[in-house]
């Protein structure tokens, strides 16, 4: 479960006097999520999610909250932070930094079809374009510097084959400079559980707490690795094409991006293989269960490594 800090209806009613959202009518803890405490909050004005930040650094929170507000202002279906009477998106409740954001409709689709992948490609491109006018800055805390530092800690837990793949991949990524790729706001975690659908329509893009400024194509790779892989951890040609073509309908890829695509697919897989290995083998004290199995990203990465240099149309950014 993920209610680490308890909030009573009385405490919340008092706190909500600092907001313009009407009176509390319902409060309910949310079990999903492993980083923060979340509650569903219903007031006379609407439905919200209350988040108490348990681990994120307070200095980083304005980047995420202002970003959600910016994207929401641009029409992206993402949670909209609610400002309090001090005109701030960030408050404090029961000793924790806390924010109230709108609650979005829809449910994750765990076995998406090409149409849904296309919608995701479209919304990701919209996010990248709308992000251009965002003035906040935060470096990627899970980028090359991080995986290069983290990989050696993981080696003791790995088979020889995996040791070789991890060391090799970190070196491979280091040998590829990506300075000529367009950069900007990236979601960096646009997995299936972070997109809420009703039918074919996206009702919500959620969980911006890995968002940062990085290479846009890296975000595309992370998204494709989750949305377009088969149970065997290979790219599904139809879903991959649907997502990439829909993305291009809103923001076309540059020539440099086309060349970098195979490298980027591997970078996106490496990032999640490393973090999942880490959470699996080196859980921090106080961490909760829910560690994802690292095997999926090991296999996705292996397929990408073996495919690099091959030329199937779904292995190309533009068919």
Give the footprint of its own copies on this chain (CB under 8 A): 19-23, 44-46, 48, 69-77, 80-87, 100, 119, 122-123, 126-127, 129-130, 132-133, 201-202
Q: Which is nearer to its own copies, 32 or 85 (CB)?
A: 85
To the nearest 10 degrees (0 to 180), the angle between helices 216-227 and 114-130 is 160
CB of 56 to its own copies, least distance (A): 21
Task: Tell me the pairing of strands 183-186 and 201-205.
Answer: unpaired
CB of 103 to its own copies, least distance (A): 12
Q: Which is nearer to its own copies, 11 or 45 (CB)?
A: 45
Q: Which is nearer to its own copies, 101 or 215 (CB)?
A: 101
Q: Which is nearer to its own copies, 69 or 233 (CB)?
A: 69
CB of 182 to its own copies, least distance (A): 15
Q: Which is nearer to its own copies, 133 or 161 (CB)?
A: 133
Q: Which is nearer to its own copies, 87 or 311 (CB)?
A: 87
Q: Which is nearer to its own copies, 252 or 306 (CB)?
A: 252
Q: Which of 170, 192, 25, 7 is nearest to 108 (CA)?
A: 192
Q: Which is nearer to its own copies, 70 or 296 (CB)?
A: 70
CB of 255 to its own copies, least distance (A): 22
CB of 209 to its own copies, least distance (A): 20
CB of 102 to its own copies, least distance (A): 8
Is 157 buried (19+), middle (13-18) or exposed (0-12) by CB count in 10 A? middle
CB of 259 to its own copies, least distance (A): 26
Residues ≥6 apart with Cβ < 8 Å to 37 = 2, 3, 4, 5, 7, 29, 51, 52, 54, 96
Per the CB < 8 A criterion, the answer to whether 100 and 21 are in contact is yes
| First CA to last CA distance, the chain | 44
| 3-state DSSP assignment of residue 313 | helix
CB of 308 to its own copies, least distance (A): 33
| 3-state DSSP assignment of residue 78 | coil
Question: DSSP letter string over 88-153?
Answer: -S-EEETTEEEEEEEPPP-B--SS--HHHHHHHHHHHHHHHHHGGG-----B-TTSHHHHHHHHHH
| 3-state DSSP assignment of residue 27 | strand
Six-digit token string for 95? 């000793």
CB of 45 to its own copies, least distance (A): 6
Which 8-state DSSP code applies to residue 1? -
Q: Which is nearer to its own copies, 133 or 230 (CB)?
A: 133
Q: Which of 219, 208, 211 is nearest to 36 (CA)?
A: 208
Six-digit token string for 132? 């251009």
Q: Which of 215, 192, 229, 243 is nearest to 307 (CA)?
A: 229
């Amino acid at each position: 479960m993920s209610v680490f800090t308890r909030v009573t209806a009385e405490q919340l009613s008092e706190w909500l006097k600092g907001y313009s959202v009407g009176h509390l009518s319902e409060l309910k803890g949310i079990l999903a999520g492993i980083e923060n405490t979340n509650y569903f909050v219903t007031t006379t004005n609407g439905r919200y999610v209350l988040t108490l930040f348990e681990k994120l650094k307070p200095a980083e929170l304005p980047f995420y909250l202002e970003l959600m507000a910016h994207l929401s202002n641009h029409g992206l279906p993402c949670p909209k932070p609610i400002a309090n009477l001090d005109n701030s998106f960030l408050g404090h409740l029961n000793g924790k930094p806390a924010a109230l954001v709108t609650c979005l409709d829809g449910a994750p689709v765990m076995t998406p079809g090409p149409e849904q992948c296309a919608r995701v490609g479209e919304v990701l491109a919209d996010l990248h374009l709308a992000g251009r006018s965002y003035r906040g800055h935060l470096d990627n805390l899970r980028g090359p510097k991080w995986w290069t530092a983290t990989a050696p800690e993981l080696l003791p837990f790995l088979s020889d084959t995996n040791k070789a793949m991890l060391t090799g991949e970190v070196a491979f990524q280091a040998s590829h400079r990506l300075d000529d790729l367009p950069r900007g706001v990236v979601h960096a975690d646009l997995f299936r559980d972070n997109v809420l659908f009703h039918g074919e329509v996206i009702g919500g893009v959620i969980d911006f707490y890995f968002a940062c400024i990085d290479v846009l194509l890296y975000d595309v790779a992370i998204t494709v690795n989750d949305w377009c892989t088969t149970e065997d951890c290979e790219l599904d040609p139809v879903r991959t094409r649907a997502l990439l073509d829909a993305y291009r309908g809103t923001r076309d890829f540059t020539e440099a991006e086309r060349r970098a695509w195979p490298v980027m697919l591997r970078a996106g897989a490496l990032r999640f293989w490393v973090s999942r290995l880490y959470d699996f083998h080196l859980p921090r004290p106080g961490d909760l269960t829910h560690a994802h199995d690292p095997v999926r990203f090991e296999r996705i990465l292996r397929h990408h490594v073996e495919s690099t240099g091959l030329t199937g149309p779904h292995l190309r950014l533009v068919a």
